[in-house]
Amino acid sequence: MSLQENVNAAYERRSSAWESALSQMHGWLTRECAGALRDVQDKSRLHVDAGRIKDRGRASAKLAKKIQDLDAQDAADAPDVEDRVRDIVGTKVLCKSTRDQKLIVEHLQKAAVRAGLGVVETKDYTSSPKASGYRAFHFIFAVDVPGEGDVNVEVQIKTRLQDAWGELTHENSYKSGSPINKTAFHDDVALTMANLLSEVDRLADCLAQDMESVIEDDDQGGMNPVAAAPVRVDVVTTGPRYALAEDARGDRGLIRAIDVRDLAGEHGLIRVDDYVRCHDVLEVNVVEGDRGRFFKPVRLPEHAE
């Protein structure tokens, strides 16, 4: 049996099991991502991809590469396709930032133990990137499919920028079986892009953490009124943690969740955009502190009352 015939036989025999394992993994990842973000308002920080079954041609090329260093007798034997190509079934979780990447990696490590889900292998390309600049964290889980046995499913945990790097550099075009030959120029540009995007990831984390410290539900020490009377502002944008508004002079300020929550008479976490919409006109008191200007609403818009 030729290598391609061996791969074809595996696909014909196991495709239904692979599809079932992928479906199971998607459901489990979706639930666990929701659990990891249970106390976080922005649920879009983690996104589970639909996943895929690797193309037969790519599986054959990868298998050929895996066995090329074996001795003649081993190479002549029909290799176990799934054992040697462990990413035939794969999906990914996309994260807004590297802190979310670390959050979900740690969460899944613990969740797998609770679920009795076997972890076949992990690879941390975030701490030790590939020579190409590729960064991600990989899990290979063993998913039990009743009547079919275990199926290996690779889960890549990436930031959106790490995932974009693969698209921008056509990473898949350079893998086994590709008609494209890499050059030193390709390698140099790809590595430079990876390093630049990694720095953007770092800056995005810094920005997110600083913004959260500004709008955190803490005391209001150091906040000083700017005007004696309320002013009218237009809401420019809104979200789960804060809204941004602008006064008649074009000066902008943040409307914090804590101030909206107090007016609404609520307790615990709220979403600002449940109460304040874009283009709302509000009366606010203007206060300033060490971290910037804030607009503290006098009352909520009518649609929120």
Domains and CATH numbers, the chain: 3-209 (3.30.460.10), 224-304 (2.40.50.140)
Question: 123-153: per-residue pLDDT in tens?
Answer: 999 999 999 899 999 999 999 999 999 999 9
The Cα–Cα gap between 121 and 83 comes to 12
- Residue 174 phi/psi, 5-degree rounding, is -100, 0
Q: Count Cα neighbours of 286 within 13 Å in the Cβ-side half-sphere.
A: 16
- Check if the beta carbon of residue 180 is closer than 8 Å to that of residue 171: no
**Closest alpha carbon to 91 in 172, 157, 11:** 157
The Cα–Cα gap between 247 and 229 comes to 13
The answer for 7, left when phi > 0, alpha when psi is -120 to 50, beta otherwise, is: alpha
- C-alpha distances in angstroms, 169 versus 58, 190, 251? 18, 6, 41
The Cα–Cα gap between 27 and 24 comes to 5
Extract the tokens encoding 92. Answer: 């990914």
Determine the pLDDT at residue 223: 61
Sign of the torsion formed by the C-alpha atoms of 29, 60, 4 and 177: positive
Determine the pLDDT at residue 219: 44
Q: Which amino acid is at 80?
A: D
Determine the pLDDT at residue 169: 84
The mean pLDDT value for 107-131 works out to 95
Confidence of residue 42 (pLDDT cuts 50, 70, 90): confident
The answer for 47, left when phi > 0, alpha when psi is -120 to 50, beta otherwise, is: beta
- C-alpha distances in angstroms, 116 versus 93, 110, 144, 301? 20, 10, 10, 50
Answer whether 0.75 is exceeded by the pTM. Answer: no
Question: 189-225: per-residue pLDDT in tens?
Answer: 888 889 998 899 888 887 776 666 555 544 445 566 6
- Residue 271 phi/psi, 5-degree rounding, is -105, 125
